[in-house]
Amino acid sequence: MRIRAKRTENHSPADWLITGGWLNQVHPADISQKFDCGGENVFLAAGFIDLQINGYGGIDFNDAGTTTEQISAVTRALWRTGVTAYCPTVITESPDHISRCLTNVIRAADESPEFALAFTGIHLEGPFISAEDGPRGAHPRQHVRPPDWEQFERWQDTARGQIRILTLSPEWPESFDFIERASATGVIVAIGHTAANPARIADAVRAGAKMSTHLGNGSHAKIDRHPNYIWEQLANDELWASFIVDGHHLPPSVVKCFLRGKGIARSILVTDAIAAAGCAPGKYKLGNVEVEVTEAGRVCLPGTPYLAGSALEMHDAIGKTVAYSGAALEDALRMASANPAKLLGLDDKFGTIEVGRRADLVLFEWDEQAMALSVVATIVNGEIVYRRNNDE
């Protein structure tokens, strides 16, 4: 397959050759050559990687009854948003409920070739988080518990070792021993939904924590201006940080400051999308919790100010990041592709459009005035899986 598209860094057109599912050669655009996809006014980027997605299109990974076909349907729907790889996210619930949700994901990885190509591991968000209102977010209080290594090992056995990211709060006395053990097995421990003081944040990093989950959210509405657990994570150069840039979770000015403080190289865009993403406003479920999507696209617990995931799509997150922060388009794309691939240790396979990488690619148009990205086509493992014109 031959693709023609612009490079984001200099807007010059080039031809990319794909053979056997891998990027093979790159040449200056030759108008005498036929190409299968793209065009002179289309840009090319590496496929987007979402490290935190609870569901999409009315399908919830936190529903213990979710089927393989439903998980496949999520994967196909995400192609329209440019996402080619992702971490299904399972949140706080009873041990048995979590086990059943993990089983669903692993079964889908075995039975669905589409999902198997997209699957980069499971993100277990909770249940070892803060029980306090605010930091707990939409997670059910009755199932919040201290870190339990034996329970985690049971879940990891169920997941066949595919829990790649674990979000917890280091405020529990058991946290540091747990972080050391989990990190030693290759699990990426993320700090999130926390009320921990700055000293405990610093100790968690020394124990092996590597990331902050949706920094600036899953927190109290009011905290000490300084020191506090947000500043401590933002300033720590050893922590990566993920951000939900949907216009609801973080104001534009905060996005700008956070990205400048953390730096592009350590920042990752996530959607934290729930089943309502891609759907009309209304009431939906996140596991056993009822949530509401407003006309403005805000997802919250009904009757409360608490956010409960998002209805965000990754291509919109990229556009909003450029609009809010002044970041270059190629930097916003990096936060949605190369950076998550590097954190996962998959940057030799995903995240860039270098020769030798798997051909997971997004072709898109960029409206500079509106700062909006529109997906034209998505390629997974060298195959065109979505074309905008065909979809329309």
- Residue 68: which CATH number? 3.20.20.140
CA distance 155 to 152: 5
Please report the pLDDT score of residue 392 as a whole number.
Answer: 42
How many structural domains does the chain have?
2
CA distances from 167 to 104, 178, 214 (A): 20, 12, 10
Residue 24 lies in a domain: yes
Residue 369: CATH number of its domain? 2.30.40.10
In a shared domain, residues 30 and 67 = no
Residue 236 counted as domain residue: yes
Alpha carbon 286 to its chain centroid, in Å, reads: 17
Q: Please indicate, yes or no, whether residues 276 and 385 belong to a single structural domain of this protein.
A: no
Tell me: do 237 and 250 sit in the same domain: yes
Q: What 8-state DSSP symbol labels residue 358?
A: B
Annotated active-site positions, please? 272
The answer as to whether 71 is a domain residue is: yes
Looking at the structure, tell me whether residues 101 and 122 fall in a common domain: yes
Do both 242 and 375 map to the same domain? no
Q: Are 320 and 379 in contact (CB under 8 A)?
A: no
Same domain assignment for residues 382 and 241: no
Hey, what amino acid is at 114? E
Cα 53 versus chain centre, distance: 6
**Cα separation of the two ends of the chain:** 23
Residue 29 resides in a domain: yes
Residue 229 lies in a domain: yes
Task: Kindly state whether residue 349 falls inside one of the protein's structural domains.
Answer: no
Are 17 and 159 within one domain?
A: no
**Do 87 and 191 fall within a single domain?**
yes
- Name the residue among 13, 7, 1, 9 with its Cα closest to residue 40: 13
- Give the model's pLDDT for residue 32: 66
Residues 5/42, Cβ–Cβ less than 8 Å: yes
> Domain limits at 13?
2-45+354-391
Chain position carrying tokens 């998505």:
378
Q: How far apart are CA 183 and CA 307, in angstroms?
A: 29
- Domain assignment present for 137: yes
Shared-domain flag, residues 376 and 250: no
Identify how many contiguous H helices and E strands the chain contains and give both numbers: 12, 20
Q: Do 69 and 163 fall into the same domain? A: yes
312, 325, 344: which is closest to 214 by C-alpha? 312
Output the six-digit token pair for 18. 């794909």
Model pTM above 0.95: yes
Residue 40's pLDDT is what?
Answer: 78
Kindly state whether residue 155 falls inside one of the protein's structural domains.
yes
Which residue in 356, 259, 369, 386 sits closest to 17, CA to CA? 356
Query: Looking at the structure, do residues 36 and 139 belong to the same domain, yes or no?
Result: no
The three-class DSSP label of residue 163 is strand
pLDDT tens for the chain, 392 residues long, are 999 999 888 888 889 999 999 998 888 877 667 788 888 789 999 999 999 999 999 999 999 999 999 999 999 999 999 999 999 999 999 999 999 999 999 999 999 999 999 999 999 999 999 999 999 999 999 999 999 999 999 999 999 999 999 999 999 999 999 999 999 999 999 999 999 999 999 999 999 999 999 999 999 999 999 999 999 999 999 999 999 999 999 999 999 999 999 999 999 999 999 999 999 999 998 999 899 999 999 999 988 888 999 999 999 999 999 999 999 999 999 999 999 999 999 999 999 999 999 999 999 999 999 999 999 999 999 999 999 987 54
Residues 18, 70, single domain; the answer is no
